[in-house]
């Protein structure tokens, strides 16, 4: 096949999305794979390598002919060093030289990026934030995270850990977060946090209760259940307040809302925008325009963002 080929991978706790594409997003292969049950770094890399090798062999090619490989992952990592420090969804809690391990397996340039950073680059390059130089991508899913695009480039902070808005405090009272601290935004307002709040009010083991996952709580609220509605209202309040503080601090022109919760709840973006406009400093929402929009590339914003990075 003429022209360079790029591999882009989004590693999740249960699934790995792998794309093989040429220039201008010309898709050659899209494959969704289960994350290895015993997801050691080596096992994840071999899963990626095996799928890529197979896809390339089908086309009479080898991994040596890849022009670039980009991998994004929900993790605290340093883009410059390629060291991954924390990936809770994979139960990785020690420093891992992940890019170095990938580079041993692939001869092409390798890029490793946080999934939210990759997602904002995807949305700025191809999606809902095109034309913006100061934009934020916020994922509201099992957890809550953000990718910052400031002054026309990804902002990572001094150690690569910027954007962890899911761990701002203090929300609620006495709930431990997956990061090890207490009362983070994520512990109360993420999909998992909403389900935990429901578990306090209802017994999931009761056959009459049914599932207490996030979708079920939204369904209950929509059907008029006042307790479910109160849980959702509080989550919206918390998210809106956290994002209003972010707007006051950074003055972006666009906030892109992504993740599973917002993807399946179309009205959520409007409700969150109302909270931002109520709580943010007035000039940041009344003088400089602020768009609050749903992601266009979901659920593939991250993988297309890391593709864009690999092509540069």
Q: How many domains does the chain have?
A: 2
Range of the structural domain that residue 189 is part of:
128-294
What pLDDT does residue 262 have? Answer: 83
Whether residues 56 and 164 share a domain: the answer is no
Is position 121 within any domain? no
How is the chain classified by DSSP, letter by letter? --S-EEEEEEE-SSEEEEEEE-GGG-EEEEEEEEPPSS--HHHHHHHHHHHHHHHHHTTT--GGGEEEEEEEESSEEETTTTEEEEBGGGTB-S-B-HHHHHHHH-SS-EEEEEHHHHHHHHHHHHSTTTT-SSEEEEEESSSEEEEEEETTEEE--SSS-TT-GGG-S--SSS-B-TTSSBS-HHHHHSHHHHHHHHHHHS-TTSTTT---SHHHHHHHHHTT-HHHHHHHHHHHHHHHHHHHHHHHHH--SEEEEESHHHHH-TTHHHHHHHHHHHHS-HHHHHTS--EEEE-SSTTSHHHHHHHHHHH-
Whether residues 158 and 61 share a domain: the answer is no
What pLDDT does residue 206 have? Answer: 74
Whether residues 203 and 177 share a domain: the answer is yes
Whether residues 40 and 151 share a domain: the answer is no
Is position 255 within any domain? yes
Whether residues 161 and 274 share a domain: the answer is yes
What pLDDT does residue 88 have? Answer: 85
What pLDDT does residue 2 have? Answer: 61
Give the tens place of pLDDT for each residue, 156-196.
999 999 999 999 998 888 898 888 889 999 999 999 999 99
Whether residues 69 and 144 share a domain: the answer is no
Is position 120 within any domain? no
Give the tens place of pLDDT for each residue, 190-225.
999 999 999 988 877 776 777 888 999 999 999 999
Whether residues 13 and 97 share a domain: the answer is yes
User: What stretches in the chain show pLDDT beneath 50?
Assistant: 1
CATH label of the domain that carries residue 144: 3.30.420.40
Whether residues 276 and 139 share a domain: the answer is yes
């Amino acid at each position: 096949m003429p022209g360079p080929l790029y591999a882009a991978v989004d590693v999740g706790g249960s699934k790995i999305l792998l794309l093989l594409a040429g220039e201008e997003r010309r898709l050659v292969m899209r494959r969704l794979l289960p994350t290895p049950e015993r997801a050691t770094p080596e096992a994840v890399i071999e899963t990626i390598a095996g799928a890529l090798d197979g896809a390339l062999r089908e086309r009479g090619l080898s991994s040596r002919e890849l022009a670039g490989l980009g991998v994004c992952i929900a993790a605290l990592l340093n883009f410059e060093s390629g060291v991954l420090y924390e990936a809770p969804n994979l139960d990785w809690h020690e420093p891992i030289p992940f890019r170095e391990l990938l580079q041993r397996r692939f001869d092409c340039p390798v890029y490793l990026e946080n999934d939210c950073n990759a997602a904002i680059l995807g949305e700025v390059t191809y999606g809902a934030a095109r034309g913006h130089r100061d934009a934020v991508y916020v994922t509201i899913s099992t957890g809550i995270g953000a990718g910052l695009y400031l002054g026309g480039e990804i902002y990572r902070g001094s150690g690569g850990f910027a954007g962890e808005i899911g761990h701002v405090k203090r929300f609620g009272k006495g709930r431990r977060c997956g990061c090890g601290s207490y009362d983070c935004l994520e512990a109360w307002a993420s999909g998992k946090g909403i389900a935990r709040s429901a578990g306090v009010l209802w017994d999931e083991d009761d056959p009459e209760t049914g599932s207490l996952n996030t979708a079920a709580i939204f369904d209950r609220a929509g059907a008029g259940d006042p307790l479910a509605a109160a849980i959702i209202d509080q989550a919206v309040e918390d998210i809106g307040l956290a994002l209003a503080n972010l707007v006051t601090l950074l003055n972006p022109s666009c906030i892109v809302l992504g993740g599973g919760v917002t993807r399946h709840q179309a009205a959520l973006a409007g409700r969150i925008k109302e909270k931002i406009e109520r709580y943010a400093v007035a000039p940041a929402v009344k003088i400089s325009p602020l768009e609050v929009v749903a992601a266009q590339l979901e659920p593939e914003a991250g993988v297309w963002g890391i593709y864009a990075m690999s092509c540069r």
